[in-house]
Amino acid sequence: MKFVRAIWKLLVGIKDALVLILLIFFFAMLYGALSARPAPVKEGVLDLNLNGSVVEQPARRNWADIAGSSHPQEYRLRDLVAALDKARDDSRVKAVALDLDGFSGGGATAIGDLANAVRRVRAAGKPVIAYGVGYTDDSYALASAASEIWLNPLGGVLIAGPGGSNLYFKGLLDKLGVTANVYRVGTYKSAVEPYIRNDMSPAARENYTALDQARLETWKQEIKLARPKANIDLFLTNMNGAVAAAGGDMAKAALQAGLIDRVGERRDFEERLAQLGGGTGANGAPFKEVKLGSYIADVVNQRPAGPIGVVTIAGMIVDGKAGPGTAGGDTIAKEIDDGVNKGIKALVVRVDSPGGSVLASERIREAELAAKAKKIPVVVSMGSVAASGGYWVSTPGDFIYAEPSTITGSIGVFGVIPSFQGTLKKLGVGADGVKTTPLSGEPDLLKGPSPEASQLIQTGVESMYSRFLGVVAAARHKTPQQVDQIAQGRVWDGGTARQLGLIDGFGGFDDAIAKAAQLANLGNERGVRYLEPQLSFRDRLIEALAHNGDEGTSAPDDAFAILAHQPEQQLASVLSEVRSIMSGPSIQARCLECPPVAPARVDEKDLGLLGLIKELVS
């Protein structure tokens, strides 16, 4: 027995030692991750290897991103613009590489702002070289600002213009036995159509056609200003003819049409960067590279403390609190209140949102009005999308800026309440009960809302629409009847919105800062303070651990490989919308027909929902 006890003590000792070693190793890694500093920036080529999308406000990463989630990286627009503006006068930066192999796009206004920053680098006398295997509408709009556009010999310029098919869920909901009880106001409030139709209504088609034509014209004008000799119209109207004339060679066709400057392999592109950056890099690197993350950390102040407060309303507007990338009404309102209490002199509201909750939108608007009540001027800067609830939160602005490519309007309200009487029937489950009043147990999600409940909800939606009209009318110095004529849920491009008086002028974020300084009598002061919460310990840890996986992603092999992620994004959109309709009662000021401000994301809840759908429709 003594021998057995000795062996047991030995095993326990080994176990304790191993646990101790693992704990020491873990905390050493934790300390290293949190205390790590980017490598010192040396001279070379600033490498903008954009392997993801450009957004106003990236969503916080989660543990799945460390475990190898396929969620694409999101780059904050203001960081990229600030880095490029610093690079103009930084002697360490000899050139800029715009590597767009993994670029998945962004909103039109965001890409336009980034392209303008690229042009400022060129104006400072520094070359910007773009490279890609396949250029889409978004990536080509950005590449067109470069000094040279390179294309892989197996690549192509796959521009197509706005438009395409939308998803309609009526047939799916019928198979699931789900009834979408819809309450809406507005002839053009087509956001609810996917739940009640299998195709597009004539009114929605009219709105989409006008909007997409305006977006196409704006895109073409920007490209023609950047590359006057590029035959964009040929590729938009007869790409097959252009490729056939080049003997079936898509890269050659793009070169002949003046859309690109050089056809070359990646190694040729890297040799060109080595020439511009002063030779090869350390450890056999093909050129002297200045990594984007290290450069942003070195030159961009993430915690400025100027007198102009900037709050970002990005993504869906939701009730309560929410992290970055989603606009929680309580969160945004608190950020504004905290900024006012800390002495900001002016407030700039940057909006990139298709709307969402009416109550959350009103919560944010009230916070803006409270700031104005304290003599703090409010200037709104619209990004790519500021529609429906996104327009609601813009109304307090003393001046509203947008771009011609901005999508705005969608002044309308709708409600969707799912009921599952069909689903219960499929499952062989009944629902019954008693009522003490006509509204007992309403809205009844098991048997469907009663006529009395439906009438009450419709009245509420109409009341909220009237409230929306009144808010816009008071802000834009119009009558509710005048607003109603341009409302009805219709979506407008920025150019038309200005003609209709929904915005005050064209301009970007810098223009909004200048206007805020002017209204607050700050003279030449342009210092800003970003009103947003600091990263928590958990967020800092995840960011540090996930950072190592951001680089080294393989590039697509040919021009059409860049389209490989589109089916995944469409699936994510489908699951997101089905989850939205099945999540319960909802009354919103939301623009579903607007393009997304960030890629949709498939998570574990969506996969579970997909399994349920398969079971019910099989």
DSSP state string for 481-538: HHHHHH-TT-EEEHHHHHHHTSSSEE--HHHHHHHHHHHTT-TT---EEE--PPPPHH
Nearest to 422 by CA among 167, 171, 168, 190: 171
Residue 599: predicted pLDDT: 61
Residue 284: predicted pLDDT: 74
Higher pLDDT, 511 or 534: 511
**In the chain, what are the domain boundaries?**
44-163+222-299
Is pLDDT at 333 greater than 60 in this prediction? yes
CA atoms of 443 and 18, how far apart (whole Å): 58
pLDDT (tens digit, 9 = 90+) per residue, 270-286? 999 999 987 887 777 88
Is pLDDT at 22 greater than 70 in this prediction? no
CA atoms of 258 and 469, how far apart (whole Å): 48
Is pLDDT at 71 greater than 80 in this prediction? no
pLDDT (tens digit, 9 = 90+) per residue, 576-615? 665 655 555 567 888 877 777 766 555 555 555 555 555 5
CA atoms of 123 and 116, how far apart (whole Å): 10
Residue 64: predicted pLDDT: 58
* 8 Å CB contact between 146 and 92: no
Residue 576: predicted pLDDT: 64
Residue 589: predicted pLDDT: 85
Higher pLDDT, 553 or 2: 2
Rounded to the nearest integer, the mean pLDDT of the chain is 85
Percentage of residues of the chain with pLDDT beyond 90 = 55
Is pLDDT at 82 greater than 70 in this prediction? yes
Residue 32: predicted pLDDT: 52
Token readout for 271 is 């040799």
187 contact partners, CB below 8 Å, separation of at least 6: 203, 488, 489, 490
Q: In a 3-state reduction of DSSP, which class is residue 573?
A: helix
- In 21-92 the beta strands, taken as DSSP E runs, fall at 44-49, 52-55, 73-76
What is the average per-residue pLDDT within 148-164? 91
Token readout for 235 is 């590729």
Q: Which residues are catalytic?
A: 189, 388
What is the average per-residue pLDDT within 172-189? 81
Higher pLDDT, 564 or 456: 456
379 contact partners, CB below 8 Å, separation of at least 6: 346, 347, 348, 349, 397, 398, 399, 400, 401, 512, 513, 515, 516, 519
Rg (CA), the chain: 27
Residue 34: predicted pLDDT: 46
Residue 536: predicted pLDDT: 65
pTM, two decimal places: 0.86
Taking residue 274's Cβ as centre, other Cβ atoms within 10 Å add up to 19
CA atoms of 466 and 484, how far apart (whole Å): 9
185 pLDDT band (50/70/90 cuts)?
confident
469 pLDDT band (50/70/90 cuts)?
very high
What is the average per-residue pLDDT within 418-446? 88
591 contact partners, CB below 8 Å, separation of at least 6: 191, 354, 355, 385, 387, 388, 390, 407, 410, 491
CATH for the stretch 44-163+222-299: 3.90.226.10
482 contact partners, CB below 8 Å, separation of at least 6: 473
DSSP 593: T
163 pLDDT band (50/70/90 cuts)?
confident
* 3-state secondary structure labels for all residues of 378-423: EEEEEEEEEECHHHHCCCCCCEEEECCCCEEECCCEEEEEEECHHH
pLDDT (tens digit, 9 = 90+) per residue, 84-129? 999 999 999 999 999 998 898 899 999 999 999 999 999 999 999 9
* 3-state secondary structure labels for all residues of 188-252: CCHHHHHHHCCCCCHHHHHHHHHHHHHHHHHHHHHHHHHCCCCCHHHHHHHHHHHHHHCCCCHHH
> Does a cis peptide bond (omega within 30 degrees of 0) precede residue 153?
no
Residue 502: predicted pLDDT: 97
The dihedrals phi and psi of 402, each to the nearest 5 degrees, come to -150, 175
Element (H, E) at 148: strand 148-157
* 8 Å CB contact between 417 and 456: no
What is the average per-residue pLDDT within 482-503? 94
Residue 549: predicted pLDDT: 47
CA atoms of 348 and 149, how far apart (whole Å): 36
CA atoms of 480 and 162, how far apart (whole Å): 32
* 8 Å CB contact between 594 and 385: yes
Is pLDDT at 415 greater than 90 in this prediction? no
Higher pLDDT, 569 or 70: 569
Residue 607: predicted pLDDT: 52
CA atoms of 492 and 211, how far apart (whole Å): 6
Is pLDDT at 552 greater than 50 in this prediction? no
* 8 Å CB contact between 357 and 588: yes
Token readout for 121 is 């680098």
Q: In a 3-state reduction of DSSP, which class is residue 172?
A: helix
Residue 201: predicted pLDDT: 86
381 contact partners, CB below 8 Å, separation of at least 6: 348, 349, 350, 351, 401, 507, 508, 509, 511, 512
Least confident residue range of 157-161, 368-372, 478-482: 157-161
